[in-house]
Every structure is written in C-alpha cells, then in structure tokens.
Amino acid sequence: MKKKYQNIFFVFGLVLLLLMLTQLDLSQVLAGLKRAGYWFGAAIVLWGVLYMLNSSAWYLIIKSGNNGKSDIKFWWLYKVTISGFALNYTTPSGLMGGEPYRIMALSPKIGPERASSSVILYAMTHIFSHFWYWLLSVIIFVACRPVNLFMGIMLACIAAFCILCLWLFLKGYKGGIAMKAMRILRHLPLIKKWARKYIESHKEQLDTIDHQIAALHSQSRNTLVSAVLLELLCRFLNSFEIFFILLVITPNVNFIDCVFILAFTSMFANMLFFLPLQLGGREGGFVMSAASLGLTAGAGIFVALIVRLRELIWTAIGLLLIKIKE
C-alpha cells in the first residue's frame, strides 16, 4: 500500500480514537483498572489470541483462492487483521473503514480482484459466524434456563431472524454478493449516483469477484466450513473476557452466563452499527444482559468499562501497526 494511503487511514483512525478517549472519565478509568488488576491483562492477551484465529480464517480463504498456496506471510496478515479491526471499531457503520484498508493492503500482493473477493468472503464469514453464535446461544439458553412466555416469544423471534439471515448468507456464498450489494446501493440516497457510475465502470471486476466467491463456495467448502468454525470459536472464547472481569466482582461466575451476556450484548450493539465503537449501545447491552441474569447493574457497568478500555488499547495498537513497514 502507498505511504499516502497508510497515512490517511492512520490519521483518520487516530482522530476518531482521540475523540473517543475524551468521552472517558479518567478517575473512573483508573478506579476500574485498579479493581480489575491482572485480569485486565488477561483480557488483553486473550484478544491477541482471538486476532490470531481471525487471521487464520482469512489466511485459509486467501490460500483456497490460490489452489491452497500463498506467498503471504501469516504474521503480516495478522498485522493487517488487527489494523483492519481497529479501523472498523473507529468508523461509523462498522465495515466502512477496515475492509477498504485490507483490500488496499492486499492488492499489491495478489491483485485487486482476488484481494477484494477474499476480503468480502472473510467479512461475510465473520458476520455469518455471529448469526450462528446467536442461534446457538438461543438453543443453549432454552436447554439450560427456564423460559416463560415472554422470553419464549423473544427467543423464537431471535432464532427465526438468525435462520433467515443464515439462509441469505448461504445464497450470497453460492451466487456472489458484490454486484448485488452495489445494486442495492444504487437505490440509496446520497450515494446512488456514485453507485450507478461505479457499476458501469467496474462491471467486469464485480462479476469476477462474484465468480471467485461462488467458485470458492462450490470447490472449497471445507475451507469455508473451517473458516466459519474458527470465527465461531472466537465468539465463544470471547466469553472468557467477561468471565475474567466478573471474577473480580464475584468468585461464583458461570461461564454459560458469560456466553449469554456476550450474545445479547453483541446483538444489541450491532443494531447500533452506525456508532463508532458502538458507543452507548455496548454499555446498555451489558447492563441489561447482566440484570436479566440476576447480576447487579453495577456489574454490567464495570464489565462494559473494562471491555471498552481493552477495545481502545487494541485499537491504538492496530493504528500503530498501520505505520509499520511491510
């Protein structure tokens, strides 16, 4: 990637990160870190491992698109993965920052079409695993917890929504999604003129990307299954972060409760995808999910604070990695 574009991504992300830091209460942050102690360090290390699994899923997709071979070094991809997520965290609407960065970083190595298709496929796989996680969380909740009428209706709606989205994603895997997405964009206000011009001038490239996505689905299903399983494993391992933090408050921590808290919070926060770092939505999700499982609102607020600090630290690391030479 050209140094000019690296600087643009770095400055853009840094400005948004600094704005987010101004929203924190320093005294509250210091008190939270003192209370969390070494468990905060455990959460930081955990996410270093989770990013390795994310990178592995993307690495499998890239290799599959090149007959199982790749000249790309895993640790370089690990760096790009962390930076991509950092830009996603700081960018309103989530995927508007990290994905273009990943495509531009990868294009000089494997070409723009293959770079675009691998990034789109990985983004699809990442989101696809979320719906599987939410659906499995519903099943686990029904198996482990008493369910009243209201809860049953809510869980049934969540399960139906997840199944519908999983079906739509499977259709996207089979037939490609790049051209379909651009056709949707051409009907949206403000960007429809740009989208129409882009389709006209890049129709061949979009068709090539969709062909590569469909070919990978039909020829390398084992790769896609492995990538989805790696991403799904990330979701469940992510629950250990909440487990570590709650150990500070009470020794009687149930890991299954942590799975439910993460499932509800991530679903609630993703409904507010237009907010950088899902500000406010993440905190509200933690408080409500903790309360629904019999924990105090204070416990939910404490978990939200520590998770927010961990996100900011890894976001800062990701932005710094943008400046490291390839």
SS (H, E, C) 266-325: HHHHHCCCCCHHHCCHHHHHHHHHHHHCCCCHHHHHHHHHHHHHHHHHHHHHHHHHHCCC
Tokens of residue 78, six digits: 């690990």
Q: How far apart are CA 148 and CA 142, in angstroms?
A: 10
Q: How far apart are CA 178 and CA 11, in angstroms?
A: 28
Q: How far apart are CA 321 and CA 88, in angstroms?
A: 14
Q: Tell me the pLDDT of the chain (326 aa) as tens digits.
A: 666 666 676 676 666 667 666 666 677 778 778 888 888 999 999 999 999 999 999 999 888 766 656 678 899 999 999 999 988 887 655 445 688 889 889 988 888 888 888 888 888 888 889 999 999 999 999 998 888 898 899 899 999 999 998 988 887 777 766 677 677 767 766 566 766 777 777 777 777 777 777 766 666 778 888 999 999 999 999 999 989 988 887 777 788 988 988 888 888 777 655 444 444 455 666 666 666 656 666 677 777 788 888 888 999 999 899 887 66
pLDDT of residue 274: 45
Strand locations in 53-93 (E): none
pLDDT of residue 302: 79
Q: How far apart are CA 280 and CA 284, in angstroms?
A: 6
Hunting for tokens 């270093």 — which residue is that? 48
**CA angle, 232 then 20 then 13, to 5°:** 70
DSSP-derived letter for residue 97 is H
pLDDT of residue 110: 86
Q: How far apart are CA 226 and CA 61, in angstroms?
A: 9
Q: How far apart are CA 53 and CA 252, in angstroms?
A: 29
3-state secondary structure of 93: coil
- Is the pTM of the predicted complex or chain greater than 0.85? no
| Residue 28 CB coordination number (10 Å) | 11
DSSP string, 17-58: HHHHHTTS-HHHHHHHHHHHTHHHHHHHHHHHHHHHHHHHHH
DSSP-derived letter for residue 72 is S
Q: How many residues does the structure list for the chain?
A: 326
Decide if 17 contacts 312 (C-beta within 8 A).
yes
pLDDT of residue 1: 63
Domain regions of the chain by residue span: 3-322
Q: Is 246 exposed, middle or buried (0-12, 13-18, 19+ CB in 10 A)?
A: buried
Q: How far apart are CA 86 and CA 97, in angstroms?
A: 9
Decide if 96 contacts 274 (C-beta within 8 A).
no
The residues, any chain, with a CB within 8 Å of residue 139's CB and separated by 6 or more, are 159
Hunting for tokens 């996505």 — which residue is that? 213
Q: What's the Cα-to-Cα distance from 237 to each of 32, 48, 242, 311, rounded to whole Å?
A: 23, 12, 10, 16
